[in-house]
Amino acid sequence: METTTNPTMVQETETPALPATVQRPNLRQHGYGREIIETIILIGAIYALVNLATVRFIVEGPSMQPTFHTGQVLMISRVNYLFGNPQRGQVIVFNAPGKPATEPPYIKRVIGLPGELVEVRDMKVYINGQELYEPYINEPCTAGSCPNRTWQLGEDEYFFMGDNRNHSLDSRSFGGVKRERVIGEALVRYWPPQDWGIVGTLNYPADPFAAP
């Protein structure tokens, strides 16, 4: 009797294909000379942008004491008022009315806004009949520096005064200042180093007509 042996069945499998070798990009570092040139160009571009957006001014004279003193250097923003208007209490650099562009600009604080009635009465400042709370002034105004008077501002005019009222040439002399004559807002006092600080609406209350 013949014995039949069942052969072992072997299923043929395909050998998995090896993944193709991925070509890595060649990286090459620039030479130091080119890096130095690119760094200089980048610094120059940043410097140009900063100069377009800001300008520096040196304080001269006592008109803004005690907020600022002679010799301090301020950074003035040109762009702040591209998106808004000056607000009461801000410190502004502007060209005074009737003065040539070659004359140094003035730095004062915004007191009156367009359309308001500004009044100096009994050596105090009133806006539309309400007394203005002013914690920033150097000393009380004297009768000689603050005679009784009123100014009605136009729709595009601002009223500026120095913090040192008895030693400041400001809107009490030349009246309202047109918006177009405003250069920018004082943001930072950065020189000398010990006087560094943010300016903004320094020490000005949220409600300008009420003491805290």
Task: Catalogue the active-site residues.
Answer: 63, 108
Residue recorded with tokens 């620039």: 30
Say which amino acid occupies 110: V
Instruction: For residues 96 and 99, give the distance between their C-alpha atoms in angstroms, rounded to a whole number.
Output: 6
Q: Which helix (H) or strand (E) holds 53?
A: helix 32-53
State the alpha helices, DSSP H only, in the chain.
Answer: 32-53, 171-174
Contacts of range 15-23, beta carbons closer than 8 Å, 24 or more positions apart: none
* Token pair recorded at residue 188: 């930072």
Say which amino acid occupies 3: T
Residue recorded with tokens 């308001």: 116
Nearest to 76 by CA among 118, 107, 104: 107
Instruction: For residues 144 and 141, give the distance between their C-alpha atoms in angstroms, rounded to a whole number.
Output: 8
- 53 bridge partner residues: none
Instruction: For residues 124 and 65, give the distance between their C-alpha atoms in angstroms, rounded to a whole number.
Output: 18
Q: Which helix (H) or strand (E) holds 41?
A: helix 32-53
